[in-house]
Amino acid sequence: MTVGNTTDIEKLKETLFSLMLDAEREGAVAMLLGFAHERGFQAAVNDLLEPVLQRVGEDWCRERISLAQGYVAGKIAEDVLLAAVSSHGNLRLDVKGPVVLGNVEDDYHSLGRKMVAVFLRAAGWKVVDLGNDVSPAAFVDAALEHGARVIGVSAMMLTTAENIRAVRAELDARGLSGRIRLAVGGAVFKLRPELVREVGGDGTAASAIQAPALFDRLWAGGPEGEGT
């Protein structure tokens, strides 16, 4: 791959975007690794991967692409970042966190949570993923064990989203609500934004690709931080 001017970069971004939407994971990764071989992993991330992921996130918010397409895009990003680490590529990623993720008690819809984990890791966060059907005590215990200041709780439906109240109650009972922030997410929160506050959440993100910005804000915010 020979990369020249800005026009070449724009063409490559269009190609990468198309490969992501067509679920051509191997082709997209090969393209990014070829670019990295020529320009370095930092350029591959800054010039190609990040702007294309931003476009994917914007299109997902506008419901122009599917959840599955967004997930593939996230896995491509993860593949490239893992390749950079394994090859000792000169890639500068912040080391943030850790943060705790999981699906709330009685919720087994894992795809959204897994997408959030992918994009958080791509943004430099250390993620402790507890999986599905996580009890309130398990969330808080894990946050204390790992020193996490943000817990991310996923719920697909209203019936399971209501169970997030118990996570907030657990934090309150242990006197941790000012020290550990609660990020909530899932399809129901897009339909009912007011539910974030009703279940005790400190904030949500419209898409998985926007989750890192939310976690940045909640981690830094403390009790008076933004929560929307």
* 182, amino acid identity: L
Strands 181-185 and 96-103: unpaired
What is the pLDDT tens value at each position of the chain, 228 positions in all? 555 566 789 999 999 999 999 999 999 999 999 999 899 888 888 889 888 987 887 787 778 888 788 888 888 988 888 888 777 666 666 678 899 999 999 999 888 888 888 888 877 899 999 999 999 999 999 999 999 999 999 999 999 999 999 999 999 999 999 899 999 999 899 889 999 999 999 999 988 878 989 999 999 984 333 434
User: Looking at residue 123, what is its pLDDT?
Assistant: 79
User: Looking at residue 89, what is its pLDDT?
Assistant: 63
DSSP state of 228: -
Residue among 54, 39, 50 at smallest CA distance from 8:
39
User: Looking at residue 94, what is its pLDDT?
Assistant: 62
Query: What number of CA atoms fall less than 13 Å from residue 31's CA on the CB side?
Result: 22
Contact 86, 59 (CB under 8 A): no
88 in the Ramachandran plot: left (φ > 0), alpha (ψ -120 to 50) or beta? left
Residue among 169, 170, 130, 171 at smallest CA distance from 149:
171
Contact 172, 136 (CB under 8 A): no
Asked whether the whole model's pTM tops 0.75, one would answer no
User: Looking at residue 182, what is its pLDDT?
Assistant: 97
User: Looking at residue 222, what is its pLDDT?
Assistant: 46
Residue among 94, 129, 105, 134 at smallest CA distance from 115:
129
User: Looking at residue 112, what is its pLDDT?
Assistant: 82
Contact 28, 20 (CB under 8 A): yes
Report the chain's terminal Cα–Cα distance, integer Å.
43
